[in-house]
Amino acid sequence: QVIKCKAAVMWEANKPFSIEEVEVAPPKAHEVRIKIMATGICRSDDHVITGGLVMPFPIILGHEAAGVVESVGQGVTSIKPGDKVIPLFVPQCGECNSCLSTKGNLCNKNDVGSGTGFMPDGTTRFTCKGKAIHHFIGTSTFTEYTVVHESAVAKIDSAAPLEKVCLIGCGFSTGYGAAVQTAKVEPGSTCAIFGLGGVGLSVVMGCKAAGASRIIAVDINSDKFAKAKELGATDCVNPKDFKKPIHEVLIEMTGCGVDYSFEVIGRTETMAAALACCQYNYGVSVIVGVPPAAQKITFDPMLLFTGRTWKGSVFGGWKSKDSVPRLVSDYMKKKFVLDPLITHTLPFTKINEGFDLLRTGK
């Protein structure tokens, strides 16, 4: 059956969300229809609105969520109606070269790089006012019901609180994994984190869990520092307090630069600064923030020639279908906290207010 429900539709760039009644088609073979119970707001959703991440309009955004399976398509065996699940914006097909490699996690079936706005079969499951509405990176969670491919959903512990573990669908896993999985931060090391939103704070938690001895949090909004310290930051630095470039400040603070740096904003200037502030020979810098479309980065190749490593991390390097249920179990065992990452809880119809809070750094 087609389900009629509420969704936040983005008809065009730089406009507010419009709460509309949409029709959600039943799942086709190897697809799952989910009732979304909670969804987080992530800066990547906002990047689509502002054009920093190019996607087709009209579109239903949202990619960090948790819900309950409503129905499944033909051939779906791993998941049944009533199961608690988290949709995965990085799928895990289990068959492509990235899925088969122990080194990779960005499944070839992902829609992050290509941005087609369709299901894997090239069609959409959403209609509004007679128009087809695009999907967002295979998830689209700003709707009461969504349809995802079987490779893009993880069944989780039935006792998990969905309004908290939805963050494991993106923000928490992305930041925490960048530290423990991509960078593989070692005990006693020094780290710098540029950007203290939900993902940046999760990097702080990951560095602390990995045993880093010094965790330097960098942000131009000093209001973020108290929470960063609560989660493990040892130093907080506001670039606006200095006349000199921030990478020079960090090198002075540490004597030789940090062992690991993380850019969790999505700005080319901070990516370059994060690279420059890590130790010249064995420092590792990880790009976690979504890079802005059509911007290029210029840097002195000597920065890399001396031995530094510059790498990217999507979804914290986790193989999604395997790792998300484990991360939820770890949360249930109190191995990490999620509450400090949740600043506000709003009803779905106030989604525009939620984005205003995001944009003002609140």
Structure confidence by residue, pLDDT tens digits, 163-180: 999 999 999 999 999 999
Give DSSP secondary structure letters for 134-182: B-STTT--SBSEEEEEGGGEEE--TTS-HHHHGGGGTHHHHHHHIIIII
Q: Which residues of 81-107 are buried (b: 16+ CB within 10 A; e: fewer)?
A: eebbbbbbbbbbbeebebbeeeeebbb
What pLDDT sits at residue 70? 98
Instruction: Determine the average pLDDT of the residues in 327-342.
Output: 97
What pLDDT sits at residue 292? 85
Which own/partner pairs from 50-53 qualify as long-range (CB within 8 Å, at least 24 positions apart)?
Answer: 50/13, 50/14, 51/13, 51/14, 51/293, 52/266, 52/290, 52/292, 52/293, 53/115, 53/290, 53/292, 53/293
What pLDDT sits at residue 311? 97
Q: 295 falls in which pLDDT band (50, 70, 90)? A: confident
Catalytic residue of the set 93, 99, 166, 170: 170
What pLDDT sits at residue 150? 97
Instruction: Determine the average pLDDT of the residues in 183-195.
Output: 98
Give first-to-last CA distance, the chain, whole Å.
40
Q: Which helix (H) or strand (E) holds 31?
A: strand 31-39
List of residues 6+ apart from 279 with CB closer than 8 A: 256, 257, 258, 259, 308
Classify 102 as helix, strand or coil.
coil
Reading the block at residue 6, the tokens are 């509420």
Instruction: Determine the average pLDDT of the residues in 213-239.
Output: 97
42 is a catalytic site residue: yes
The proportion of the chain whose per-residue pLDDT surpasses 70, expressed as a percent, equals 100
Strand pairing partners for 214? 190
* CATH architecture of the region 3-171+317-360: Alpha-Beta Complex (3.90)
Q: Do you know the residue count of the chain?
A: 362
65-79, 136-150, 215-229, 292-306: which has the minimum mean pLDDT? 292-306
344 is a catalytic site residue: no
Q: Which helix (H) or strand (E) holds 351?
A: helix 351-359
What pLDDT sits at residue 274? 98
Give the alpha-carbon dihedral of 63, 173, 113, 90, to 10 degrees. Answer: -70
247 is a catalytic site residue: no
Same fold, 3-171+317-360 and 183-312: no
Q: 293 falls in which pLDDT band (50, 70, 90)? A: confident
The CATH fold assigned to 183-312 is: Rossmann fold (3.40.50)
Cα-based distances in Å from 285 to 252, 276, 279? 18, 9, 9
d(CA 58, CA 267): 26
Catalytic residue of the set 42, 191, 207, 278: 42
What pLDDT sits at residue 294? 81
Cα-based distances in Å from 218 to 2, 36, 59, 73, 265? 48, 34, 34, 46, 11
Reading the block at residue 85, the tokens are 């699940």
Strand pairing partners for 204? none
Structure confidence by residue, pLDDT tens digits, 24-48: 999 999 999 999 999 999 999 999 9
What pLDDT sits at residue 123? 96
Structure confidence by residue, pLDDT tens digits, 95-148: 999 999 999 999 999 998 888 999 999 999 999 999 999 999 999 999 999 999
Sorted by where each begins, the domain ranges of the chain are: 3-171+317-360, 183-312
Catalytic residue of the set 44, 151, 320, 323: 44
Checking if the pLDDT of 257 tops 90, the result is yes
What's the mean per-residue pLDDT of the chain?
A: 97
Instruction: Determine the average pLDDT of the residues in 307-329.
Output: 98
What pLDDT sits at residue 114? 85
**What sign does the dihedral 223-226-232-233 (CA atoms) show?**
positive
Tokens 């530290």 -> residue: 179
**What sign does the dihedral 79-85-87-91 (CA atoms) show?**
negative
107 is a catalytic site residue: no
Instruction: Determine the average pLDDT of the residues in 305-318.
Output: 98
Alpha carbon 59 to chain centroid, angstroms? 18
d(CA 352, CA 10): 11
222 is a catalytic site residue: no
d(CA 52, CA 265): 12
